[in-house]
Amino acid sequence: MTYKAKVLVVEDEALLQRLLRRQLADLFLEENIFIASDYSSGLKIYESQRPDVFILDGESPCNGIEFSQKIREERGSYDGVCIYTGTLVEEAEKQGIPAYLKPLEKDDMLADIEIYLQKLESERT
């Protein structure tokens, strides 16, 4: 199923950007997939597009944990936020942010995103 929700991926590695875009195309309309390669670009997209789902690189320069905290300040929760990281899973989880280990847990992350999208869609109807 393809959802109308918007997703923002903040990832500095071009290969992972392309991989995630391709995989997210099964869940999201192409025009609703936004990719940023750094924190400041991601913030601009966040402010202009107001995405529903976030896939954030945990490591610098993207700094997904800091980005997640900004989202939580504005939205009141980490709903729809995922940290996709090579090293910061434990740190993210201590703060209550769902985290997935690159590249091993990608399928788990996508499955959890789909569950969130189903919930979001049922709330909107």
Q: What is the pLDDT of residues 19-60, one digit of tens each?
A: 999 999 999 999 999 999 998 999 999 999 999 999 999 876
Q: What is the pTM of this model?
A: 0.90
| Residues constituting the chain | 125
Q: For residue 16, which of 92, 100, 122 has the smallest C-alpha distance?
A: 100
Task: Tell me the one-letter amino acid at 120.
Answer: L
Cα 47 to Cα 79: distance, rounded to the nearest angstrom: 17
What structural domains and CATH numbers belong to the chain?
7-124 (3.40.50.2300)
Condensed to tens digits (0 to 9), the pLDDT of residues 30-40 reads 999 999 999 89
